[in-house]
Amino acid sequence: MEIIKDSDFKTEVEEAKVPVLLDFFATWCGPCRQLTPILEEISKEMADKIKIVKMDIDESPETPNAFGVRGIPTLILFKDGKAVDTKVGAMPKSAVEEWIKQHI
């Protein structure tokens, strides 16, 4: 699971051939740290169906501002380059998986 920057957003998310789950996080965020291993597991298990990437809001502030990110972690699901759904806050693995499956 890679960390992307504002400059990578177009190629990594908007032009992706598969749905993309973008996790907006910060290194100082406790719930973000709890969510990371869950997303890493899902990324491996569902690698053929979805791409999961992360973006540090402190290092890349443009994209989170463009999507109105106010709290972290914020997860935005993109399909065909467009945001289709957003979740804010840490969730258990089962909830993340169910949410993804609703959209892919």
Q: What is the pTM of this model?
A: 0.96
Q: How far apart are CA 48 and CA 69, in angstroms?
A: 28
Task: Report the pLDDT value the prediction gives residue 78, as an integer from 0 to 100.
Answer: 98
Report pLDDT for 14: 97
What pLDDT score was predicted for residue 68? 97
How large a percentage of the chain has pLDDT more than 70?
Answer: 100
Q: Residues with catalytic annotation?
A: 29, 32
The CATH-assigned architecture of domain 2-103 is: 3-Layer(aba) Sandwich (3.40)
Give domain limits for the chain: 2-103
Percent of all residues in the chain with a pLDDT value above 90, rounded to a whole number: 98
Q: CA geometry: angle at 20 spanning 53 and 80, to 5°?
A: 145
- Model confidence over 38-86: pLDDT tens digits? 999 999 999 999 999 999 999 999 999 999 999 999 999 999 999 999 9
> How much is the pLDDT for 66?
97
